A and B are shown apart, each in its own frame.
Chain A
Amino acid sequence: MCLAIPARVVALPEPETALIDVAGVRKRISLALVDGVAVGDYVIVHVGYALTRLDPEEAQRTLEMFAQAGVAPQGAQ
């Protein structure tokens, strides 16, 4: 159910659009709902839209929690 797996922003190819990487899978998403996202930030994504921006420490803690639970987005760490 709507797991909040942090996705790393790897590029900003055009305004309000980001390329994200989760476990080595890259995907274009919309940044229309969040401000100030930069390359290297982590975002929480739902059906193609970034919902929230996480600071790197919070993202790391969340990624470690998912990894411990067996959902390990290796490529995103």
Chain B
Amino acid sequence: MEILKIESTEDSPQIVLDRESNILEISGRSLPEDVNTFYEPMMSWIEEYAKDPLDVTVFNFKLTYFNTASSKIILDILTQFEEMIEEGHEVMVRWHYPEEDEDMMEAGEEYSEMVDVPFEMVSYS
């Protein structure tokens, strides 16, 4: 699979999806003007990846902020992982949050209650 790499801007996150190197990560701030257009390549990549995933998929969310529209996209991604698990694949989410950011930590916990996907909460300073 081709590597998908999107550089971050002030209002959009960095995305690195690299199957060969086992790096699946989104990081930074997410409040792009047109959320659906921005995330379309990522959603297509994950949909393709789900057809032939790695033995163990570990997806890293390392966001510092996301807006309401982006929160729905994150849920769509998690729902895709849920479907992969239902098909017998092993998927795990690492939810990284700044150690002083309780909101971001609780947001990860809320997501983990919404979908049947294992979450690992990782704080960083």
Q: Do A and B bind each other?
A: no
B-side interface residues toward A, CB under 8 Å?
Answer: none
A-side interface residues toward B, CB under 8 Å?
Answer: none
